[in-house]
Chain A
Amino acid sequence: MSTTAARPVSTPDKRHITTKPRTSDVIFRGVLSVMSMSSLLILTLIGLFLSLRGFQAFQTQGFGFITNVDWSAGVDGGADTFGLGAMIIGTLLISATAVVIGVPLSVLTALYLTFYAPERLKRSLVTLVDLMASFPSILYGLWGFIVLMPMAEYWAQLLHKYLGWIPLFDVPQPAFSRSPFIAGLVLAIMIIPIVTSVSREIFNQTPLDRIQAAYALGATRWAMIKAVVLPFGASGVVGGAMLGLGRALGETVAVYSVLNIVFKINLEVLFGYGGNIASMIVGKWGEASLTESKALLAAGFVLFIMTLVVNLLANFIVRRTVKTGK
């Protein structure tokens, strides 16, 4: 005879499981944790040394360090003026040119590679893009100076001829060689690999069911891209563009090789002089006095912060797109 259960049995409390870790594992975890913190250490040290050693410049120049547009080491006992303003503007101008030229080309290429390229061609081209990303920047500098410059000068002349009424494209004299435009062009080519790779990754992750829904409705390839891929990938592409921007902000030797470095503001992008913070540091380093060297370190600190902020924002945006998939 089977008895039916009469009393309900209460659920027992969960057992608290513990384990005594082996000593070797404790050491193991300890070592890994400490070593991983090395990245924190390094970043902190960078910020620390640059700001501390360069502190003198901040002290004497105050906020004018950022806003002053004049940088002249004191001549024979005169006061030094260290103003980063011109070079900050130059950095932004050149990087903006690079982004404006490079990002649309990268997006077009990424769309082409993801949705248009035939399979065999696609693999070779993707490899080529990755290869392009590992070219040394000094190669871009040398090539930009020798090969690109004559062509870019010609394009600058054309731009000036037809669009010179826009202040941006005006020049005081027809000196188109070694301009921020050319530097921006070289930087654009340098950031294309990274923006293309990030964009391609994003486009590849477009949900297939939405793509199929668009095609099933009778959409052409471009109509599908417009309706599904672009809305999905827009913010990711922005993140990729910011990564490219971060790279462009800190580029040194390519700019130095191509640009006529003069430490004044130049907003006329076609006119042949300008500079960015990185090339200024390199340019002035050789002859700098101790005081000026410290000021250059302070300049480096400003650059460090700029690229840090842009890079972190970029990574945040890219990761968010990939995770939530809109």
Chain B
Amino acid sequence: MSTIQSSAEVKPSKPWKTTKRQLVPSASLLLAAVIATYVVVALTPMKGKLAYALLFFIFATAFLASLSWSKRGKSAASDTIAGTIMLAGAIIVFLPVASLMLTTIVKGSKGLRPQIFTNTMEATSYSDPLTSGGLLHAIIGTLFLILIATVISLPLSILTALYLTEIKGKASGFIQFLIQAMSGVPSVVAGIFIYAALLLTTELRGSTIIGALPLAILMIPTVTRTAQEVLLLVPNELREAGLALGATQWKTVATIVVPAARNGLITAVILGVARIAGETAPLLFTLGTSDKINWNIFSGGQNALPYYVWSGIIDGTESGLARSWTGILVLLILVLLLFVSARLFGSRKVK
């Protein structure tokens, strides 16, 4: 019979984890690769960041793979090569992300003064120096658009999601198919559709409410899909409890299911808003334009953050581009806030 040592005497360990000592040969090989890179660059006409990166990658992979081959054989060498290629791929992917964010912060903060939140462009042109003008009208416009688009798309999305999860009628497969089809509609197509339907042959001109319509179309698939996922997470026991108490289905859904999924539905809306907040193309056809705040959402053009950025690019001057960067910075901060709050609401448990 085995004697049982008290477990306090024996410590758990992970002998398979790579120790620091085991990393020494690899680290020195990486150093050798750096040296080799500089040597080759000095001796050949290759230059530039690309040359350094490529050479280092080739040398590092070759050296590390040789080490693996000598210690553990051919398949270990393939494994090492595959591993370095994957890491390189991941780095290549995350570099642009870092650059996007850093560039926006650096270039956008140049034009970031408190005044831009209180001024509009009614007295300034894009090419004027950055001391004048602002984007208040664009912010207000974006907020209007978000509000109207949400008001239009929210009922349609939630009701569609409810149909799919609560009623599960015969058309469910078809409706799923439709929602997927809608999610692939390019934003420019949504824009010109509204134009073709409402503006081409009528007296109407671009306005805030018309500008919000293509955005609503783009929002619906996102909100519906997320709402559907969230409603499916509501435990069936809750529905059964309601029905067992004699409530009708609609009362059960309205008073039990929807409140239980409330946080998730808020997440769905936030994700939908994040989807459309930065859309530019549809606005070009449906929003008209304005250099100041237009409080009339039914008539007269409006500005919005993406449109503001677009105008700066079209202007093309140094000031114009600087304004664009600032506009993008504000837009990016908005998207980030939406993203973070979606995470917060999404992680709170279903009540």
Contact = CB atoms under 8 A, between A and B. Distances in A.
Interface string A114-148: 00110000000100101110111111111101111
> Chain B's interface: helix, strand, loop or mixed, by majority?
helix
Interface in B215-238: 217, 220-221, 224
A35 B160 contact: yes
Tell me what chain A mostly uses at the interface: helix, strand, loop, or mixed.
helix
A121 B86 CA distance: 15
A308 B79 contact: no
B87 interface: yes
Given A139-B100, A252-B281, A33 B171 contact: yes
A22 interface: yes
Given A33-B167, A252-B281, A223 B79 contact: yes
Interface string B135-167: 000000000000000000001100110111011
Contact of A40 (B87, B178, B324): B178
A96 interface: no
Interface in B103-139: 103-104, 107
A249 B187 CA distance: 11
Interface string B83-107: 1011111101110110110011001
A196 B93 CA distance: 10
Nearest to A34: B159
A238 B200 CA distance: 39
A138 B89 contact: no
Contacts of A243: 184
A304 B187 CA distance: 10
B53 to A, nearest CB: 12
Contacts of A107: 89
A81 interface: no
A278 B160 CA distance: 30
A42 B336 CA distance: 30
Give the 10 A-B CB pairs with smallest separation, nearest first: A136-B278, A250-B186, A108-B89, A311-B184, A28-B250, A222-B82, A220-B79, A35-B159, A32-B163, A252-B281
Interface of B: 48, 50, 75-76, 78-79, 81-83, 85-90, 92-94, 96-97, 99-100, 103-104, 107, 155-156, 159-160, 162-164, 166-167, 169, 171, 174-175, 177-190, 192-193, 195-197, 200-201, 217, 220-221, 224, 248-251, 253, 274-275, 277-281, 284-285, 306, 309-310, 313, 321, 324-325, 328, 331-332, 335-336, 338-339
Given A50-B192, A222-B83, 4 more contacts: A112-B90, A116-B83, A310-B184, A312-B181
13 contacts: A27-B250, A35-B163, A37-B171, A40-B174, A43-B185, A45-B197, A49-B197, A139-B332, A223-B79, A225-B82, A251-B186, A252-B188, A253-B310
Interface of A: 22, 24-25, 27-29, 31-33, 35-40, 42-43, 45-46, 49-50, 53-54, 104-109, 111-113, 116-117, 125, 128, 130-132, 134-143, 145-148, 154-155, 158, 189, 192, 196, 219-223, 225, 243, 246, 249-253, 257, 278, 281-282, 285, 293-294, 296-297, 300, 303-304, 307-308, 310-312, 315
